[in-house]
Amino acid sequence: MKLPIYLDYAATTPIDPRVVEKMLHYMSVDGDFGNPASLSHAYGQAAKQAVDWARAQVADLIQAEVSEVIWTSGATESVNLALKGSAALYRAKGKHIITMKTEHKAVLDSCEQLEKEGFSVSYLSPESNGLLDCSKLLSAIREDTILVSVMHVNNETGVIQDINTIAQITAAREILFHVDAAQSNGKISIDVTQMPIDLISLNAHKVYGPKGVGALYIRRKPRVRVAALIHGGGQEQGMRSGTLATHQIVGMAEALRLAKQDMAADYQKIHALRERFLQQLSPLKNISVNGDSKGYPGILNICFPGIKAERFMQKCPELAVSSGSACLNKGIEPSYVLRAMGLTTEEAQTAIRFSFGRFTTIDEIDYAAQNIIKQLSL
């Protein structure tokens, strides 16, 4: 067993060896290393073919058209393009945006930037289980609301928002709806033919693909437009210039293709690991799980009363987990996600995020649980 045991799959995942194998072909002199925009010769054409194949895989994952998928450098860039790019083009229609306090910083910081540019943003609080009560959304909507942004799976708690209901609410009012699906793509299905979502941010490295690549889904019917943030060679329909990173893009596509193929089995396995882990921790009577119990099982956020996260991690150096807190220059901050769900600062400081994945084994789960029980009793 490799120590420390990796239980931080929500931060990032290792690349699946099948994905690495596929990526290698697009890098060196013996492979298809050409620039996919260099269509005057076979090198470029082969790379373009690979990018086209990859786009079809990503589109297929969410039932989109290939022309609705734009490559980016990751979910952070996709979110920035979705929020700032749509705000720029729809500002004449209105300057009000709605999001949630529990969103990832990519969304919150983009919104903060938009506030500096004259937009007003409503930050909705979740219920204590992390879920959005849609009546709050309905009362926050104004005449000048142009955009709603709500994530699919929360990166700290695994809470799954009801994006279908939200999409129905926004579509009926001709308000754009963006979903940050960085933690859910390839794990929980999204079908844009059934859900009227306008923009979806996707990435690869949370689902056994490479870091530094992502995509933005932009609906064509009805047509959604975003202003480019990066200007240059006019790639990606002018919405995102820059030479396409063929190997990264192929890696993302292969990772998502495998994820789609194995989605049900991966989910079941991870669900069983979570149940086993919780079962083994049951002698610790006072622990509590944060967030809705029907969340994504690969993310488990637990408060260990009386022991701060830093201390927990010092006591359990054999476990690679996350405190769910951000290290800011003023020190460790309790998680703003848990605070928004109503936990006190003291409670939030005792939270540990465990996240499981495709390569987590039963032995690792057993070892981790026993290790926690032993260390916390010392």
Ligand X SMILES: Cc1ncc(COP(=O)(O)O)c(C=O)c1O
- In the complex, least distance from residue 145 CB atom to ligand X, rounded to whole angstroms: 22
Per-residue binding string, ligand X, 71-90, x by CB under 6 A, is: ---xxx--------------
Helices (H) and strands (E) in the chain, counts: 12, 14
- In the complex, least distance from residue 65 CB atom to ligand X, rounded to whole angstroms: 23
- In the complex, least distance from residue 284 CB atom to ligand X, rounded to whole angstroms: 27
Residue 7 or 151 with smaller CB distance to ligand X: 151
Q: Check if the beta carbon of residue 338 is closer than 8 Å to that of residue 348.
A: yes
Catalytic-residue membership of 327: yes
Nearest to 199 by CA among 146, 154, 256, 246: 146
Residue 272 or 320 with smaller CB distance to ligand X: 320
Binding of residue 145 to ligand X (CB under 6 A): no
The DSSP 8-state label assigned to residue 14 in this structure reads P
Q: What angle do CA 201, 89, 196 make, to 5 degrees?
A: 45
Residue 169, H or E segment: helix 163-172
Residue 255 or 281 with smaller CB distance to ligand X: 255
Q: Name which position in 104, 178, 187, 247 contacts ligand X (CB under 6 A).
A: 104
Restricted to residues 194-213, the positions that interact with ligand X (CB under 6 A) are 203, 205
The active-site residue out of 111, 134, 316, 327 is 327
Binding of residue 176 to ligand X (CB under 6 A): no
Nearest to 19 by CA among 44, 54, 43: 54
Query: Among the candidate windows 58-66, 70-78, 90-98, 319-327, which touches ligand X by CB under 6 A?
Result: 70-78
The Cα 292–Cα 296 span in angstroms is: 9
Residue with tokens 């987590």: 360
Restricted to residues 260-299, the positions that interact with ligand X (CB under 6 A) are none
Q: What is the DSSP string of 357-371?
A: -TT--HHHHHHHHHH
Residue 75 or 226 with smaller CB distance to ligand X: 75
The site for ligand X, by CB under 6 A, has a size of 13
Sorted by sequence, the CB contacts under 8 Å of residue 251 that are 6+ apart come out as 15, 19, 20, 22, 23, 204, 209, 210, 213
Binding of residue 130 to ligand X (CB under 6 A): no
Catalytic site positions: 327
Name the site residues for ligand X (rule: CB under 6 A): 74-76, 104, 106, 151, 155, 180, 182-183, 203, 205, 214
